[in-house]
Amino acid sequence: MLNFSLIGAGRIGYMHAKIIKAHPKSNLKYVYDVNSKLANDVVKLTGCAKAKSPEQAINSKDIDAVLIASATPTHTKFITTAAKAGKAIFCEKPIDLNIKKVNQCENNIKNYKVPIQIGFNRRFDLSHAKVQKACLNKEIGDLEMVVITSRDPQPPSIDYLKAAGGFFRDATIHDFDLTRFILGNDPVVQISAFGEALFDKNAKKIKDQDTGMFILKSKKGVLIHINNSRRAVYGYDQRVEIFGSKGMVISNNQVPNSVEKFTNKSTNIKDPIHFFFMERYEKAYKDQFNEFVKCVLKKTNPKVTFDDGKKALIIANAAYKSLKSGKVVNIKF
């Protein structure tokens, strides 16, 4: 049994609280949020104690692990505190928006050998994971192309946008990580990025983007395309396609039911795909947490590491450099 403190009780934090509660081998002991009301909701749901401070929650002797789901700028601080306290750490993505802070954090914790897992949930999606495995097992022969389609149902609020660190660091970062997941030990070495504010006035106002297209190249010459949008009216569009010398494997979108309708105007009509990440990746979030619990209990290394979080951010930064310069940018990890 693994005892947890939860730092951050917003939408994502609350979801994690439910997952911790439901898991047969984990238990929520403390919750902390700067917003006392949000912490209370988690107390009500799980019966855990409300910590007076994040430090109390993290350092408490009766806990084994910390789940960090607080605001992004606080991540590195809580990671450092938890590492020093010898707690296992699950931290939501991104580690931080500033690569310097990430590097400093990495340096601060390097001597504390605690397990750390970063919340790139998509790696745990059953379908995406099958695609990755098909790639690894050479089911498609030698990999030649990857095409990732990634479109949110609707743009977030301007407040969210202001704190998010830019479209590429907030949204595309998931796809950069998915790219690394699929490529395995063949690192990406180059990127060319396009970004536009085509429909979201808020994005435009703060000089952010709502639409992006990217080409990356790996060391072996594999070409990767990502297209990313903040808005898709038919739901949360999440597709991954790998193509190689022996064929193609696609992880397709998913509709919540298997009903098809036929009328005098159209056929094979299905409902919209899953609305957003909470629905589409519901199982992936559970499987991600289950993996973390297993790793900590079995003292094995988590599969999605601090280094993965850092490298996704490095790619996002390279993407911005490409966007500004109009050049293909070399990626240096």
Binding test (CB under 8 A) with a second copy, winner from 41, 106, 144, 282: 144
Cβ(141)–Cβ(114) below 8 Å: no
Q: Residue 34 interacts with a second copy (CB under 8 A)? A: no
Tell whether residue 275 is a contact of a second copy (CB under 8 A): no
The count of chain residues that interact with a second copy, using the rule CB under 8 A, is 70
Q: Cα angle at 202 between 200 and 205, to 5 degrees?
A: 115
Does residue 276 bind a second copy (CB under 8 A)?
no
**Pattern 183-202, a second copy, x by CB under 8 A:** ---------x-x-x-xx---
Instruction: By CB under 8 A, tell whether 106 contacts a second copy.
Output: no
Whole-number Å distance between alpha carbons of 42 and 37 = 9
Binding of residue 27 to a second copy (CB under 8 A): no
How open is the CA angle 21-24-28, to the nearest 5 degrees?
Answer: 35
Cα-based angle 152, 271, 18 (whole degrees, multiple of 5): 60
Q: Does 332 bind a second copy (CB under 8 A)?
A: no
Token look-up 């310097």 returns: 100
By the rule CB under 8 A, 263 interacts with a second copy: yes
Of 67 and 131, nearer to a second copy (C-beta) is 131
- Encode 288-327: b = buried (16+ Cβ within 10 Å), e = exposed: bbbbbbebbeeeeebebebebbbbbbbbbbbbbebbeeee
Which CB atom, from 73 or from 221, has the smaller least distance to a second copy?
221
- Does 47 participate in binding a second copy (rule CB under 8 A)? no
**Contact flag: residue 259 with a second copy (CB under 8 A):** yes
Verify cis geometry, omega within 30 degrees of 0, for the bond prior to 94.
Answer: yes
**Residue carrying the six token digits 């050479």:** 138
CA 280 to CA 78: how far, in whole Å? 29
In the stretch 209-248, what mask flags binding to a second copy with x, by CB under 8 A?
A: --xxxxx-x---xxxxx-x-x-xxxxx-x-----x-xxxx
Give 53 or 257: the residue with its C-beta nearer to a second copy. 257
Cα angle, residue 291 at apex, residues 289 and 293 outer, rounded to 5°: 70
- The two tokens of residue 333 are 């990890």
CB of 166 to a second copy, least distance (A): 17
Compose the 55-84 pattern: x for residues touching a second copy by CB under 8 A, - for all others.
------------------------------
Q: How many CA atoms lie within 13 A of 241 on its CB side?
A: 15
The only residue of 43, 255, 297, 314 in contact with a second copy, by rule CB under 8 A: 255
Shortest reach from residue 115's CB to a second copy, in Å: 28
By residue count, the chain amounts to 333
Nearest to 202 by CA among 150, 238, 173, 163: 163
Question: Contact between 261 and a second copy (CB under 8 A)?
Answer: yes
Tokens of 106: 């990495």
The stretch among 161-169, 172-180, 250-258, 288-296 that binds a second copy (CB under 8 A) is 250-258
Residues within the interface to a second copy (CB under 8 A): 22, 126-127, 130-131, 134, 139, 142, 144-145, 147, 149, 151, 192, 194, 196, 198-199, 211-215, 217, 221-225, 227, 229, 231-235, 237, 243, 245-273, 326-328
